[in-house]
Amino acid sequence: MKSSFWKKGSLLLTALVIVLGGCSSGNNGANSGADTAADAAGSSEPVTITILKHLNGGQRYAPDTAIEKLIEEKANVKVEYQFIPAQEYDNKLNVLMAGGDLPDIIHNFGPDWPQYNSYVEQGAFLALDDYLAKYPKVKEMVSDDVWNLLKSPKDGKIYHLPWYIGQEPQITYYRKDWADKLAIKEPATVDEFTKMLEAFRDKDPDGNGKKDTIAFSPGDQNIWFLNSFMTNFGANMYGFVPSEEDPNTLVDAFIHPNLKTGLAYLHDLRAQGLLDPDWLVDKKPGIDKFIAGNVGVTSGTKNEYIRLVDSPNVKGVAVLPPLKGPNGYEGGARLIPPHDRGFSISSKAKNVDAIFKYLEWQLTDGLELMKYGVLDKTYTEKDGVKTLISTDKLPDDYASLEVLREVIPQEEVDSLEKLESKFADHKDQFEHLKTVYNLYLEKSKMNKYAADYRRPIASPANEQYGAKLAALVQEGLTNAIVDGKADPGQTFDNYVANYYKSGGQQVQDERNKLQQDKSNPFAK
């Protein structure tokens, strides 16, 4: 029987993508490394674990699929899921947290989430230190440096298990076949990039005799898909950075003057027909338009590259290198804490040992299954090399593999091993991606505004104003780009003034008072 959380959650989120996991049971198929969740409960019957998490664009989930049943059988566990679309997740999560009827595992932003410390203070999340000592495979999945970033300023304990992503730049991809056709050399500056966009707009690069190509359409209908591109202007769309006037004073990156320059550039691109007019106002992701053959430049994570390379409509794609911007900065990646949302465990969870047994199984006996899935369903194998099948090509019964994974070892991400397996037939493209990807990271370390300078603090002001400020940021930055009737600089200035009046000044002042170390955490 499902808990009341699932009943209430289902009623609350009827307009959302809400799915409950399958109920398959079976014998333990993994004995060599980690015991199963059922063993932790002192029973051979599968233990039920409830999980609340977000679903990103392009990810797929359906309950009771073959891959979910297989995982449950091998781990001897039953998992009940509730998925919420990523863009709606934080608001709905706050509602569920306020209700108090929580699942066992709650995906969240951890210390970066404004309400996180408040929920720690209230006792909603379980301190995990004793369990990390008891289950070393979970503790060893990331380095001590990462765990230190997750220690609560309240008591120095850990209340969050990270989803490790490393330094993950949003990469800019472009149609190299179009550039070659038009004799355009690879851009090295923002000005040269603009000239390439103009040629894509005006010179019929697809050869269909129509002026219908879209020069630049960012990967998703989300302003954050330009976070790395904005570092070309010395802007960081995340966290806190040094003030221009005083390096010992931190300001929110979302109100820094360098961001104003970058937004004005995007506004001008849109006014000139160089930026997709449907970006931020439509639903179709720019990367899908790129794959369809209609777009010259898009953006996405490194994982998207194989989709572009494999597209029959794209005859040549390359990774745009870091560009030198108008104020002299060279772009790259945002340097942020190397973990994405991750999750916390409810303090009311009835069998925490069973949860950790399941996590340990995913990292040991179940690791190959969670990484690759099933031969000829989720991956192919040739000469001993496993190649993952693109998510959009997976059969429905196996498309959920990616979202069923709860933990990932740091070494797997940092080595790019999993990504390399997708390029078995495109080794040159992988080497190209790796070279430019590493260049992004290298340039970022020389760009003082590419890093997030925050250290964990308990910020009552952020808890009070954070949600409102996040909405103001989204609205303010979007308007600076898409409002064709207004001056983007004035729009940005008005937004900054509103930001400070709406609690931003208190958040900034409190940050500078409580955070003693204001140095770049990524500087060697």
Any domain includes 482: yes
User: Both tokens of residue 336?
Assistant: 């942020």
- For residues 479 and 491, the answer to whether their CB atoms sit within 8 Å is yes
Closest C-alpha among 129, 131, 91 to residue 109:
91
The H or E element containing residue 298 is strand 295-300
151 contact partners, CB below 8 Å, separation of at least 6: 157, 158, 456
Residues 151 and 13 in one domain: yes
Closest C-alpha among 306, 329, 310 to residue 171:
306
Which sign, positive or negative, has the C-alpha torsion 348, 353, 354, 358?
Answer: positive
Report the largest interatomic distance among the alpha carbons of the chain, rounded to a whole angstrom: 70
Residues 185 and 233 in one domain: yes
Any domain includes 287: yes
Closest C-alpha among 429, 384, 422, 432 to residue 402:
422
User: Both tokens of residue 26?
Assistant: 């079976």
Residues 325 and 454 in one domain: yes
Q: How far is CA 418 from CA 67, 105, 410, 461, 491, in A?
A: 19, 26, 12, 41, 43
Residues 176 and 277 in one domain: yes
Chain Cα centroid distance, residue 246? 31
Any domain includes 439: no
| pLDDT, one tens digit for every residue, the chain (524 residues) | 333 344 333 333 333 332 323 333 333 333 334 566 766 656 678 999 999 999 887 788 999 999 999 999 999 999 999 999 887 888 888 888 888 889 999 999 888 777 888 889 889 999 999 999 999 999 999 999 889 889 888 889 999 999 987 777 788 999 999 999 999 999 999 999 999 999 999 999 999 999 999 999 999 888 888 888 999 999 988 889 999 899 899 999 999 999 999 999 999 999 999 999 999 988 888 999 999 999 999 998 888 898 899 899 999 999 999 999 998 998 877 777 776 689 999 999 999 999 999 999 999 999 999 999 999 999 999 888 788 887 778 999 999 999 999 999 988 887 776 678 778 788 899 999 989 988 888 888 888 888 888 887 878 898 899 889 989 999 999 999 999 999 999 999 999 999 999 999 999 999 999 998 998 887 75
End position of a domain, from candidates 377, 404, 420:
420
Under DSSP, the state recorded for 385 is E
Any domain includes 20: yes
- For residues 37 and 46, the answer to whether their CB atoms sit within 8 Å is yes
Distance CA(444)–CA(524), nearest Å, equals: 13
Residues 64 and 203 in one domain: no
- CATH number of the domain to which 25 belongs: 3.40.190.10
Residues 153 and 175 in one domain: no
181: containing domain: 171-334+448-514
Task: Note the residue count of the chain.
Answer: 524
Residues 325 and 388 in one domain: no
Any domain includes 217: yes
Chain Cα centroid distance, residue 73? 30
Residues 186 and 315 in one domain: yes
Distance CA(440)–CA(429), nearest Å, equals: 16
Any domain includes 524: no
Distance CA(20)–CA(36), nearest Å, equals: 22
Residues 24 and 162 in one domain: yes
Residues 330 and 226 in one domain: yes
pLDDT of residue 463: 83
Output the pTM of the full model: 0.73
Residues 454 and 327 in one domain: yes
Any domain includes 135: yes
Q: Are strands 47-55 and 105-107 parallel, antiparallel or unpaired?
A: parallel
Residues 203 and 189 in one domain: yes
Any domain includes 399: yes
Total tally of structural domains belonging to the chain:
2
